[in-house]
Amino acid sequence: MTNPARAVQEFRLPDLGEGLTDADWVHWAVAVGDRVELNQVIGEVETAKATVELPSPYGGTVEELLVEPGQTVPVGAPLLRIATEDGPAEPAGDSGGPSRPSVLVGYGPGDAPQSRRATRRASADAGRARDGDPPPARPDAKPGARKLAALLEVDLDTVTGTGRGGVITRDDVRRTAGHGDEPTAGHGEEPTAERPHSPAPEASPERTTRIPVGGVRKRTAEAVSRSAFTAPHASVFLTCDATATVDLVSTLRASPAFEGVRPTALSIVSRALLHAIADEPSLNAHWDDDTGEIVLHHDVHLGIATATSDGLKVPVVREAQRLSLPRLARSIAEVADRARTGRSTPSELTGSTVSVTNVGVFGVDGGTPILNPGESAILAVGAISDRPWVVDGALAIRKVVTLSLSFDHRLVDGEQAGRALATIGAFLGDPVPMLLADT
C-alpha cells in the first residue's frame, strides 16, 4: 500500500479588492502542526478599509508561518506553507513557479522576506498541536485590540475583557501591558476619527513619543495627503435654522414607516444633499487626471464618514438617490454600524462619489473636511444647538446648525457650491415640501 504523494502548497496574500497593494497581518488562528480544512479561517488581515478573515485554499497540515502579527504584507507575498496529500511534493524553499495554481485572485509575482521570528514562535506550539491537544479557545477581542496586543506582545489569553459581553478592548490590552494611564481620544472604544492607530509608544531621551502607524490610520494619512495636494480645495459655509428639521425627526420617530430604524437629522441632511446634487450634478463627479476630463456620475453613492476604534472609515450607501427616506435612514444606520463593529468588507468601504461627515456629534460647530480622493465635494454638519435667531422680525430661540461644503475647485466653482449649500439650508429650514417634491 503506497502513501499519497505529499505536496507543500504556499498560500500568498490575495488581492482583497479595490486596488489594495498590501495589508497588515493582525492575528494567526492556526499554528505550525495544526490540521486545517479547506476554507477554514487561518488568520486576519487589516486593509486600508476593513479587517478581513482569510480562509485557507488548501486542506492539510501547517508547515510554516511566514509572517508575524503587526507586519505589513504586500499582495502576492507568501503567508504560510501547508502540506497536502494531493500531488507531487513542492520544494519548501520554492516561493514561486508557473506550476502553482492561483486559487485566489490577486497573487503577485514578488516575494516578501520571511519572518524568522514568526516561524520560531509558531514552531514552539508545534509539539502540542501534533500531540492532538485541542487548540485553546480564541479570546473574543476587537480587531484593533488584537493588533495592539501583537504590537505590545500581550497574550490575549491573559487579558480580562471589559467590553460588552466580555469582549477585549484596546484599553484592556493597555492595562495588561502596563500602559493603563496612557491618554486616549474619546471614551473606551468610541474614539474620534483623529485617534492614532495602534499606538505602541516608545519614549525617547528627548521626551517625545513615537507611535507606529499602520492599517487604517496609515491609509487614511496617505489618502488625505494625496487629496490635499492634488485637488485644489475650497469651502463655503452657511448657518441656518434647522428647527423644522428637528421637529420633523421627532415626528418621524413615531411613524410606522420608520419602525425598526431611528431617523436622525443626518438622514434629513443626506436627503437635502441628494436634492442639491440633482440641481448641481458637478458635486457628484470627479476629475480624471489621465484625460483631463470631468466625469459625472449618474448614480449617487453616498459616503458616510464614520469614526471607529480603528480610525476613520467611509462606508457607502449605494444609489442613494433611489432610496425613500425610510430606506435611506435605515441604510445609513446599517452601513455605519457595520463599519464601527468591523464587519464591513473592503467593497462596502470604497466607491463613494460624494460624502457627508457629521462633526456635530463631537460637539463642534463646524469644520473644513478634506475631500475623499476621487470625489468633488464633502458636506460637514455641525452641532445643532439652541441659539438666538430672528424670526419675523422678533428674536427667538431656534435650533441652529452650521454647514460647510468643501469642493474641488477644478470642476466646481464657488457659484455652484454656494447655490448647492443654499439649497441644503433651505431644505433644512422647511423640509416637508422638499421631501414631498422628491417623492
Cell of 30: 492556526
Q: Do β-strands 394-408 and 385-391 pair in parallel, antiparallel, or remain unpaired? A: antiparallel
CA gap 381, 391 in Å, rounded: 22
Cell of 432: 416637508
Angle, vertex CA 437, rays to CA 435 and CA 439, nearest 5: 75
- Closest alpha carbon to 143 in 71, 50, 220: 50
Reported as type and span, the H/E element at residue 151 is helix 143-152
Q: What b/e readout covers 105-137, taking b as 16+ CB neighbours within 10 angstroms?
A: eebbeeebebbeebbebbeebeeebeeeeeeee
Coil/strand/helix, residue 304 = strand
Q: DSSP E strands: which ranges in 13-162?
A: 22-28, 35-36, 41-46, 51-55, 60-65, 72-74, 78-84
- Give me the torsion for CA of 352, 264, 362, 183, rounded to 10°: -80
CA gap 215, 357 in Å, rounded: 21
Q: Is 27 a catalytic residue?
A: no
Which residue of the set 179, 233, 297, 409 is catalytic?
A: 409
- Closest alpha carbon to 150 in 214, 209, 193: 214
Active site members: 409
